Amino acid sequence: MKKKEVPEERKYRGTQDCVVGIGVKVEGRLSCGGFLRVEGECTGSLESSGGVVIAEGAEINADVKSRSILVAGKVSGTLEASDMVRLAPSARVKGNIMSRHFSMDEGAVFSGKVGRSAE
| Cα angle for residues 55, 76, 12 (degrees, 5° grid) | 40
Question: What does DSSP assign to residue 89?
Answer: T
Residue 5, in any domain of the structure = no
2 within some domain? no
Indicate if the pLDDT at residue 119 is higher than 80.
Answer: no
| 115 in any annotated domain | no
Print the domain residue range for 25.
Answer: 11-91
2: CB partners within 8 A, 6+ apart: none
Domain count, the chain: 1
Task: Kindly state whether residue 112 falls inside one of the protein's structural domains.
Answer: no
> Pick from 116, 108, 118: which is nearest to 86 by CA?
108
Instruction: Kindly report whether the global pTM for this prediction surpasses the value 0.75.
Output: yes
What are 16-53's pLDDT values in tens digits? Answer: 688 999 999 999 999 988 899 999 999 999 999 889 99
Residue 31 covered by a domain: yes
Q: Is residue 106 part of a domain?
A: no
**Alpha carbon distance 86, 99 (integer Å):** 10
Model confidence over 52-71: pLDDT tens digits? 999 999 999 999 999 999 99
Residue 8 in this model has a pLDDT that exceeds 70: no
113 in any annotated domain = no
Q: Is residue 108 part of a domain?
A: no
Instruction: Please give the Cα distance from 67 to 82 (Å, whole number).
Output: 5
Q: What is the distance between the alpha carbons of residues 72 and 78, in angstroms, rounded to a whole number?
A: 15
